[in-house]
Amino acid sequence: MEISTPLMLGLLAVASFGLAYLGSSVGLVLGQFRVPLLVWWLASPLAGLATSLAISTVGALVGAVRHATDGRVRPRLLLTVGVPSGLAAYAATQFAGSVDERLLEAVIGVVLVVSGGFLLRPQRGDDKPASAAESSTQAPVVRRGTLIAELLIGVVLGTLTAFSGLLLGTLRLPLLLRFTDTGARAAVGSNMAIGALTGLLVGVSTLLEGHVDLLTFSVLAPATLLGSALGARATGRMSRGALRRLIAVMLVIVGLWMAGAALESLLRATA
């Protein structure tokens, strides 16, 4: 039984809304789940990837604006993580063909599962609401070690982005939580803002090159916008523990998805 185009686009829009809501609430884009749906629907890996990236960028921009309005974006991280990430991604593109992206995605997936597992461990004060200082837009005093860690995160993830074709917000978020002095809410907002800036540069390029399916984009983008805005709003309503647990669960799910899909592809190629 064939599904009509309007009905299928409607189902894809609902799925995109759900992904945007969940992703934005924890500072992620979750394009890994949308890509296979659009590749199947558009019957073209290039069109599916480009259209999903354009939709993800729109959602990330809206989510980032909402997070910034609520004081959850740290401008310092845009400079210390976002700028090095973009420069490294640009410089590494000429070497991208030398790495098997399936193996890289499998490794990233395993790292995400391990990171999510560590975040699931209970910590003191998890169920307390955020303090006013945690949501403050004032930048904390930056230690030299923290600044170096942020620069390294940007360079390493920018390089991996060039090799994998993914924005890697799912990998950036646990690194921000672990190696910077940023609280969970600020890490969520800053991570989405960094992803939005990176995606905007790449997304505009793919749109100008004509790889984006405009009909699919025009239907899914509004649903993604709404889901992203509502998800970002929900971030401020959760306790620190609930937010951290949600982040951990999403990291584990995305990690298992990425690792499983990549390993399956590698096994098929070697069979």
**Which amino acid makes up residue 202?**
V
Q: What is the pTM of this model?
A: 0.73
Ordered alpha helix ranges (H), 26-94: 31-42, 45-69, 75-77, 83-92
CA distance linking residue 120 with residue 112, whole number of Å: 12
Pick the closest to residue 112 from 248, 237, 224, 263 (CA basis): 248
pLDDT tens for the chain, 271 residues: list them: 456 788 999 999 999 999 899 888 888 878 778 888 888 899 887 788 778 888 888 888 888 998 999 888 999 999 999 888 878 877 776 665 566 667 767 777 777 787 777 777 765 544 554 444 344 444 455 677 888 889 999 898 888 776 666 677 888 888 888 888 778 888 889 999 998 887 776 666 666 767 789 999 999 999 999 999 999 888 878 777 787 788 888 888 888 887 888 788 878 877 6
Pick the closest to residue 49 from 35, 37, 61 (CA basis): 35
CA distance linking residue 65 with residue 122, whole number of Å: 30
Say if CB 81 and CB 172 are below 8 A apart.
yes
CA distance linking residue 134 with residue 125, whole number of Å: 13
